[in-house]
Amino acid sequence: MSLSRRDLITASALLLAGPAGALRAADQGAAAGGKPIVLCWNENPYGPSPAARLAVSRAIADGCRYPDDDEVDALEGALAAHEKIDADSIVTGTGSGELLRALGLLYGRDGAEIICAAPTYEELPKYAALRGAALKPVPVDAQLRHDLPAMAGAVTERTRAIYLCNPNNPTGTALPAAAVRAFVAALPEHVVTIVDEAYMDFTVGQDLRSVADLVQGKRRVVVLRTFSKIHGMAGLRFGYAITRPDLAETLEDTRMTTPNIYAVRAARASLDDKAFLADTRRRILASRTRITTELGRLGLKFAEPQGNFVFFDTGMPLERFTSLMQARNILVGRLFPPFATWCRITIGTEPEVASFLTALRAVKAA
Ligand SMILES: Cc1ncc(COP(=O)(O)O)c(C=O)c1O
């Protein structure tokens, strides 16, 4: 029997809770139909959109076929129109994670320096390290945002790439587009900037928007997007990169897989399902405000959340908080050093958020 990452997390959370906790969790799990409330992966529980669901069910009959080139071209064309860019600047991937890994392999070679925030999403740095890169993690600032001046200060002639995760996972904070633009403009020419905008659709605030148009500028820039978040298609695996045509070609040659027929059809359908996208955003933002309001009321610190998750200080070792939540059948995010007492909580459905807040109040009062 092979265990999935999820099985292992669930099992380790139960172990953390100890035998009594594990039993309680199992009891409560059984009472709630056996399924834990999963708030640890930054998934969007409202997806896939109705249009994407229909597209996937219709595509079943074509599961014996490779995705048609024309169909993939049409999807790339639609993505290019959406980004207001030429189609030869788009590279599709089996999730943006695959493209981040490919970029890590591509730019991490020969001991190159890769600069990233700490903490940040680790897919690219991890794969760059596999290739022998020298990682230069730069701690986030006091507001838990990327420390751009410190990142610029870390650049040397051996620096090959800088990874900006905007909004950042796990902290949730975002940089204004103007700050990213100024940062990129001031970099030496040999440095590539990789901007991961997985959560950009959930931002609220002045100038918190994509810098995809930078790929047409003088500096080398790669922007990444995913259908796992606002489109709610994490299990279908689809994402794409936007970059200069020559870099797009290199990236395309480096990826190991191509998106499957269900992902291609679902992505095409979801792109046009504007009602679903607007409704998802509205609901996630409303729940986000509900969570931060409650955190404020409970006197718990949090980083300004701009994604579909909230990073907050539990006020106790995270291991303990995790086990207390597990005992209430709720799975929360893992430890992100050095934030030993902080937890990342994904914004689930409204009832899931209500259950989380009830559990949080109980844990805080205990
Ligand atoms: C910042 C960030 N980028 C990229 C991804 C990868 O998304 P996917 O591979 O599902 O497209 C994630 C997933 O959680 C993420 O948090």
Is residue 45 one of the residues assigned to a domain? no
3-state secondary structure (DSSP) of residue 166: coil
Is residue 81 one of the residues assigned to a domain? yes
Which of 89, 142, 161 is CA-nearest to residue 151? 161
| Pocket mutation for ligand 1, best pick of 92, 123, 175 (most atoms within 8 Å of C-beta) | 123
The crossing angle, in degrees rounded to 10, of helices 50-59 and 261-271 is 150
The vertex-257 CA angle with 98 and 79, nearest 5°, equals: 70
104 Cα to the center of ligand 1, angstroms: 14
Is residue 312 one of the residues assigned to a domain? yes
Residue 226 CA: nearest ligand 1 atom is 11
Domain count, the chain: 2
Range of the domain at 336: 5-35+275-365
State the pLDDT at residue 47. Answer: 98
Q: Which residues have CB under 6 Å of ligand 1? A: 42, 95-97, 121, 165, 169, 196, 198, 226, 228, 234, 239
State the pLDDT at residue 29. Answer: 41
The pairing of beta strand 192-196 with beta strand 342-346: unpaired
State the pLDDT at residue 366. Answer: 87
The residue whose C-alpha atom lies closest to atom 5 belonging to ligand 1 is: 97
pTM for the model: 0.91
Residue 273 φ/ψ, nearest 5 degrees: -85, 70
Strand extents, DSSP E, the chain: 37-39, 90-93, 113-118, 134-139, 159-165, 192-196, 221-226, 239-242, 309-313, 330-332, 342-346
Name the domain boundary from 250, 271, 292.
271
Residue 333: CATH number of its domain = 3.90.1150.10
Name the domain boundary from 255, 271, 287.
271
Question: Which tokens belong to 253?
Answer: 């040659």
- Judge contact between 173 and 167, C-beta under 8 A: yes
Is residue 139 one of the residues assigned to a domain? yes
Is residue 126 one of the residues assigned to a domain? yes
State the pLDDT at residue 280. Answer: 98
The residue whose C-alpha atom lies closest to atom 14 belonging to ligand 1 is: 42
Task: pLDDT tens for the chain, 366 residues: list them.
Answer: 343 444 444 434 433 333 333 333 333 443 345 799 999 999 999 999 999 999 999 999 999 999 999 999 999 999 999 999 999 999 999 999 999 999 999 999 999 999 999 999 999 999 999 999 999 999 999 999 999 999 999 999 999 999 999 999 999 999 999 999 999 999 999 999 999 999 999 999 999 999 999 999 999 999 999 999 999 999 999 999 999 999 999 999 999 999 999 999 999 999 999 999 999 999 999 999 999 999 999 999 999 999 999 999 999 999 999 999 999 999 998 999 999 999 999 999 999 999 999 999 999 998
Residue 225: CATH number of its domain = 3.40.640.10
Residue whose pair of structure tokens reads 């945002």 in the numeric block = 145
CA distance linking residue 238 with residue 270, whole number of Å: 11
3-state secondary structure (DSSP) of residue 138: strand
165 Cα to the center of ligand 1, angstroms: 10
- Judge contact between 55 and 238, C-beta under 8 A: no
